[in-house]
Structures are given as structure tokens and as C-alpha cells.
Amino acid sequence: MSEKIKPIELEEVSIRFSGDSGDGMQLTGTLFSNTSALLGNDLATFPDYPAEIRAPQGTVGGVSGFQVHFGHSKINTPGDYVDVLVAMNPAALKANLRWVKKQATVICDIDSFDKKNIKKAGYNEDPFLEEDLDGLNVIKSPISTLTRESIKDLGLDNKSILRSKNMFTLGMVYWLFNRPLEYTEDFLTGKFKKAPLIIQANKRVLSAGYHFAETIEALNPSYIVNPAKIEKGTYRNINGNVATAWGLIAAAEKAGLNLFCGSYPITPATDILQELALRKEFGVKVFQAEDEIAGINTAIGASFAGYLGVTTTSGPGLALKTEATGLAVITELPLVIVDVQRGGPSTGLPTKTEQSDLFQALYGRNGESPVAVVAASTPSNCFEYAFQAGKIALEHMTPVLLLTDGFLANGTEPWLVPSMSDYPDIKPPIVKESNKDYQPYARDENLVREWAVPGTKGFEHRIGSLEKMNITGTVSYVPENHQLMTDLRQAKIDKIADNIPKLEIHGNKDADLLVVGWGGTYGHLITAVEQLQQEGKSIALAHFNYINPLPLNTAEVLKSHKKIIVCELNMGQFANYLRIQVPNINYLQYNKVQGLPFTVIELTDHFNKILEEK
């Protein structure tokens, strides 16, 4: 055994775990992330799933990946390129080599590099000769063999044995970065408490991988990433879908209402429905509908009955909810519609991220049918903007479309658990019993009508999908009344701007280049902008979370910069929306539609080119 060299301190590290869907890479990455978070590192993750439920084993299309970027300082992205790649088969190597740094470490399970898997991955004979691996530290480890050897005496079948090989890999990476095993051992004890043999096997394999890494010279030295300096408090690792669910529950609690979610499962939004189903102790009621149309209509019915109605979906499902969204608009009932965006059109790229539903959110209904649109920008602030979506819906009696995306939904980061006392009360305009002159479409100073729950004596009223007479709510075909009600519904949405924060600038207010983004691109954009600011470049960022209406100072901010570039994961929908809302500005665009988030490198390269142009 070679002498162990003192560990090297690093500021930040990116690791990508990859293999077949059955290789447990999502769990491996999650456990590594949780351990790093418990040790005080800041981090961001990027799970990358195959689009097919049962993708062919051993193929590039079947590769499942999990990337984690952890560090001693603030981490906003899962990293562009990785320092360590774990490739459990040839397909994982082929799919991910493009994302490794020039001197990265690549850990392979050499046992899976047989002729059959090599051919499936698209190689001829030897991937290590056919790929350009110059400068890489390639560790060809017999992971499957050593996994079998470490637990051969436990009497498990071969399939059960190989299920634990991800723990061998995890043990290797734990040693490489001086991570303790105890947190994962505690997880295994809790997870498999009814199967003690499985606990024993996984713990033994985890330890075997750790000690194997300790003995091989190719993984010496190891590395240390010290804890980040973060605000004191209670943290937990959270993904965007769970944060969204909790934010909706918090909004209902602050409003003194119960929450109802009527939804149909769809990737990547299903986890919100599942998380809400677990929270009955908070008065949450969940209905898994037979389709998307039933999902939103049950939510509207619940809203009519005095609940905070919620429905969750992704792009194709949002298309099916179109007509019912218009019903919520004309009845002026509070409703939160969560759209976790994914690649399209049609079924498109179900497990990949995109921002291409913006126009659908803004305009995807028949008639003049305005709704409020809000977008979250990090996994953890999905809580904040789910809460705000609920607040707007309840206090302004309107449907609100909350946009997240696959990157936010599945990505995780440490979240400082807030105190509910820090959040404002939500005051829905429920009609008071003393109001003997109640009319269903009489409005307050914000043009908001009062909410009368059916069954309340003295507040019987008519409501439905036909146009209403102003004030009384009776069916009306009077042309002038239709114009008036159309104007009022639009003006009500516009007045929401009086109650949302003004747009903030990250950087100098007179910077030469203003980068504009919205939603889930925030982490990459702020990282790129801050990097260039540190180099002395005149650049700033304006990132939008409130889309409709826009913040009141939007035009003022946009008109104060020489050059503006709008960056989004679509073909330019927000840029075109800004051209309508704030015209007479030359909006440059940087667009990407690959099912992947931006990289910081591509952004900084493009921003530098614009800054250098005269």
C-alpha cells in the first residue's frame, strides 16, 4: 500500500454519477448530496432521467445521470463540466465524456465493459481506445466483482447482490472527498428496517468501496471541500416539486383555508401531487383525476366551495386545461395552476427541461382571458413563489399560473427553513355576514369581487361560464356590458402590479450590458454575470419572477441600459413579450432548446462578444 498523501483542499467540485436506470445513480447522487449538505457545503444538483420508462439497458438512451456541484462558497448551478465522472457501463461513458474536464477522474465498472454492452453503446471494440482520454485519470475498477466478493457469504441472489454495487461506487467517492459513511449508514438502517439482510449487505459494500479507494494508488491524494459560510438556521435539502407543494400548503394556512389539489399525474409534475397527498395533517385534500380536464375542474369546484383550489401539470396537460382555465377567469375564482415545463411539442422530451410554455401561459385560452403568471427561479424559492401564487389568487380572485420547469423540479439545494411568522397573512375577500347588499360582481378598489361560499344563507348567487352582467352576475348578451366586463377583468390583473416587488438589478444600474432572464435560468445567469463583474466588465442582471403583470418599474429599468440581451430556454418568447409590453428597445436574444440548462461558459463567451462589439 502506498503512503497516503495529505488531502488537497478544493473550493468546489462537480461529480456526475451515471449508469443504467437500474444502477441506482439517482439514489447514489442524492445520498452524496445529502451527506455534503449535512457537512455544511452549499450545493446544487441536476438529476437527468431517460425519457422512456423502460429504456433499453446498456444503450445511450437509457443512461440515467445525477450531477452534484458542492463547494465552500455559494453554489448556484450544478456545474458545467465535472471533476469526477462515475460511468457504470460503456453507454454511460459515451453519453457523458463530453461533460468532463480535461484532467478529470473517470471511475468505470470495468466488469460491465463486455462485448455486448460495448456494442449496445455504439463502440466497436474498446471504448478506452476509441475515445480521446488524454489527460483523464481513468480508474478501471471491478466494481461488480468486488461487490459480489464482499457479500458472498450472505446468501443473497445475484440480482440482489448487484443492486448494491452503487454503494461500492458511493464508498469510493466518499473516500476521495473525505466524506463520512455514517449518514448513509443511518439512511440504510431507516430505509430497510424490515430487511436487516439488505441493510447488512449495503453497509458492507459501502465500506468495501471506501477501503478499496483507500488502497489504490490512482485515487491518491484525496480531497477536502470545507463547509460554506452560510446563514445560521435549520436547513434541509429540498427539490423544486417538494418546495412547491409546501409553499401551496403555507399559503392555505396563512389564508385560514384548506387546500384541495385535483390533478392527473404527468412528468415532471407528479411529485407535487404525491407530496400533497402525504400532508393530510395540514387539511390537504387530494384527488387523482382520470384526466387533466377533470383535474382542473375539480379544483375549480373546490375553489367555488371555499378551498384554495390547485391543479398541477406540465405542458401537454396545460393545453388540456385551457377551456377550464377560461371558466376560472370568467367566474373570477381563486385557482393556482402549476406548470412544470418540459421539452415539447406534443410529448416531446418528457424528462428534459425547457421554458417553452410561456406563450401558452400568457395567451393559451379562447377569448380575452387574462391570468396572472408567476415564475420560480431556484429549487428552494419554488416555496416562495408557490406561496405568492396562492396569495395573488386568493386576494385578487383570479387564476394564477405558476411556471417552474424540469430543472427546478428535480434539482435540489439547501433550503433555510423559514418561520411562518415571517410570512404575511393572506386575506381572501370572503363576504362578511353583515353585508346585506351582496352582489356577486360588485368590486373593491382593486376591482376584486367578494367570495361567497355556497350554502351561506343570504348569499345565494348565480355563477357560470356565460358572460355576466356587471354587479348582479346574471347572464348578459349586452354588447356594452361584455366590453365593460372584459375591461374590468384585464384591469384587475393589471392592478396586481401595485402589490408585487419592483424589479431589482444585480449590478450597476447603468451597466453597458443588461442580461435579462426569467424563471429557472437564474442560477446560470447570475453565476455568469458575477464572474464577468469580477473581471471588471460592465454587466448587470435583471431577472423576472413576475411575468403578468410585469413589475411597475420594468420600462424604467430596461430603458436605462445601452444593450439588452434576453436569455431563455426557448426560441424567444419572453423577448417577444417584452417587445409588446415595452416597445422601442432593441432586444438581443440568446436562446437554447436542447432539453438542457445553459452552461456558464457558453453564456460568458456570448456576453463577452457583445461587450466587445462597438
Q: Write down the CATH number for the domain with range 234-500.
A: 3.40.50.970
pLDDT tens digit sequence for 435-479: 778 999 999 999 999 999 988 888 888 889 999 999 999 999 999
Ordered by start, the domain boundaries in the chain are: 8-224, 234-500, 505-612
pLDDT tens digit sequence for 567-592: 999 999 999 999 999 999 999 999 99
**Fold matches, 8-224 and 234-500:** no
pLDDT band (50, 70, 90) for residue 90 = very high
* pTM of the predicted model over 0.85: yes
Share of the chain above pLDDT 70, in %: 99
Task: Give me the pLDDT at residue 190, please.
Answer: 96
Please provide residue 46's backbone torsions phi and psi, each rounded to the nearest 5 degrees. -145, 90
Mean pLDDT computed over every residue of the chain: 95
How far is 501 from 546, CA to CA, in rounded Å?
9
Task: Give me the pLDDT at residue 304, please.
Answer: 96
DSSP string, 410-436: H-EEEEEPPPGGGSPP----BPPTT-T
Task: Give me the pLDDT at residue 218, please.
Answer: 78
Could you please state the CATH topology (level 3) that the domain comprising 8-224 is classified under. Pyruvate-ferredoxin Oxidoreductase; domain 3 (3.40.920)
* pLDDT reading at 558 higher than 90: yes
Task: Give me the pLDDT at residue 200, please.
Answer: 96
pLDDT tens digit sequence for 192-238: 999 999 999 999 999 999 999 999 987 878 899 999 988 889 999 99
Q: Is it true that domain 505-612 has CATH number 3.40.50.1950?
A: no
Task: Give me the pLDDT at residue 4, please.
Answer: 61
What is the CB-side half-sphere exposure of residue 74 using CA atoms within 13 A? 8
How far is 428 from 437, CA to CA, in rounded Å?
19
Which residues lie closer than 8 Å to 111 by C-beta, 6 or more apart? 142, 143, 144, 145
Cα separations (Å) of 193 from 87, 189, 498, 508? 30, 6, 53, 55
In sequence order, what are the beta bridge partners of 338? 312, 402
pLDDT band (50, 70, 90) for residue 1 = very low
More confident residue, 85 or 51: 85
* pLDDT reading at 30 higher than 60: yes
pLDDT tens digit sequence for 469-523: 999 999 999 999 999 999 999 999 999 999 999 999 999 999 999 999 999 999 9
* pLDDT reading at 57 higher than 90: no
* pLDDT reading at 2 higher than 80: no
What is the number of other CB atoms lying within 10 angstroms of the CB of residue 394? Answer: 27
